[in-house]
Amino acid sequence: MTGLAAHHKMLMLFAGVGALLVVASAIGWALARRVATPEGRATIDNLNARIRAWWVMIAIFAVGFLLGPAATLILFALTSFYTLREFVSLTPTRAADVPPIAASFYLFLPLQYWLIWTEWYGLFAILIPVYAFLLLPSLAALTGDVQDFLLRVARLQWGLMLTVYCVSHAPALLTLDIPGYLDQRFFLLFFLIAVVQMSDVLQYVFGKLFGRRKVAPVVSPSKTWEGLIGGGLSATALGAALWWMTPFTPLQAAGMAFVIVAMGFLGGLSLSAIKRSMGAKDWGTMVKGHGGVLDRMDSVCFAAPVFFHLTRFFFTP
């Protein structure tokens, strides 16, 4: 199957995902007609809102594929923009933070994506960890406001690292020079997003069906061991089943999927802890049924850089 042309594979993929969503929508519709208790109705409404948001996301993905890498980069840059906006909006800021915030949005965010476009890997990898790390506190210090200085600078750096640096590693997969795979790099991105999101959905479903023991009740009350193990292993298996679209063998695909699932879980947990330390339940209200955009991207934040570097280390010359 690895011999299939790229657009042929893509057609199969969208047909597969489309069929999956049709089944999910039908189940959601049937459940909504059967459920009687108000508590059950709330769960089903939540499920159906998630499924609807899924349709929108897959449509956006299709547009990105059809219009090419530039469109995909712009879509991810917009995602970084909105998630950074959600992060900064929820974080307490002072007037003196405006210059470093402006530099984050108007300088580092576009620059990071431009570096992917020009495939300048060396600067892409250090722009934010080195240059933003040093410039942001400098800009804040120049204003002379020292109240909560370290806290304010650290929060902004966390936001920029997560929403711009980490997220940008997903579209950066399109720049990896894997021999014999140059026209199919879009599938690496698809593989990453598909495994992360299937893992999220399956953990939610397994947790609702069998969840008893909570992993971290204070941080994230909805995460259970049953959901994590059941959903995580199913997502790993589904990831392995997608090996034909990747440069990996089935076993390698399973290993990669496992790492993505594990990192995604840790990302969800860490961002939940950050969110709760700021006294909020959702990052925003942008996506119906999904809270904010960052609520959907939290797993990608942690999974994308690790998947990118593992693939780069083992599969590029």
Partner 1 sequence: MIDLLLIGATRFLVGGAPHWVGCEPTRRQRIYFANHGSHLDTLLIWAALPAPLRGRTHPVAAADYWGGEGVMGRIARDTLKAVLVNRAGGAEAGDPLAPLRDMLAKGESLIIFPEGTRTTERLPGPFKSGLYRLALDFPQVELIPVYLENPGRAFPKGALIPVPIACAVRFGAPLALGAQEDKAAFLARARAAVSELAP
**Would you tell me which residues interact with partner 1 (CB under 8 A)?**
81, 84-86, 88-89, 93, 95, 98, 101-102, 105-106, 284-285
* Phi, psi (deg, nearest 5) at residue 95: -55, -35
Distance CA 75, CA 171 (A): 9
Compute the half-sphere exposure of residue 175: CA atoms within 13 Å on the CB side of its CA: 21
φ/ψ of 15, rounded to 5, equals -60, -45
Are 225 and 215 in contact by the 8 Å Cβ rule? The answer is: yes
User: Smallest distance, Å, CB 97 to partner 1?
Assistant: 8
Which CB atom, from 193 or from 293, has the smaller least distance to partner 1? 293
CB of 123 to partner 1, least distance (A): 24
At closest approach, how far in Å is the CB of 43 from partner 1? 26
Q: Which of 133, 119, 168 is nearest to 300 (CA)?
A: 168
CB 290 within 8 A of CB 281: no
In the complex, the smallest distance separating the C-beta of residue 219 from partner 1, rounded to whole angstroms, is 24
Question: Nearest approach, Cβ of 164 to partner 1 (angstroms)?
Answer: 13
For the chain, the distance separating the N- and C-terminal CA atoms, rounded to the nearest angstrom, is 24
Q: Are 238 and 190 in contact (CB under 8 A)?
A: no
Which residues fall within 8 angstroms of residue 306, CB to CB, at 6 or more apart?
259, 260, 263
CB closer to partner 1, 106 vs 314: 106
Q: Which is nearer to partner 1, 64 or 284 (CB)?
A: 284
- Of 100 and 264, CB closest to partner 1: 100
Q: Residue 222: enclosing H or E segment and its boundaries?
A: none
**List of residues 6+ apart from 20 with CB closer than 8 A:** none
Please report how many Cα atoms fall inside a 13 Å half-sphere around the Cα of residue 21, on the Cβ side.
19
Count of residues for the chain?
317
| Residue nearer to partner 1 on the CB measure, 56 or 98 | 98
Which residue, 250 or 289, is less far from partner 1 as judged by CB? 289
Output the DSSP codes for 239-281: HHHTGGGSSS-HHHHHHHHHHHHHHHHHHHHHHHHHHHHTT-S
Write out the two tokens for 279: 């006294």
Nearer to partner 1, 107 or 273 (CB): 107
Least distance to partner 1, CB of residue 163, Å: 12
Q: Using the minimum distance from each CB to partner 1, give the nearer residue, 29 or 106.
A: 106
- What is the closest distance, in whole angstroms, from the C-beta atom of residue 81 to partner 1 in the complex? 7
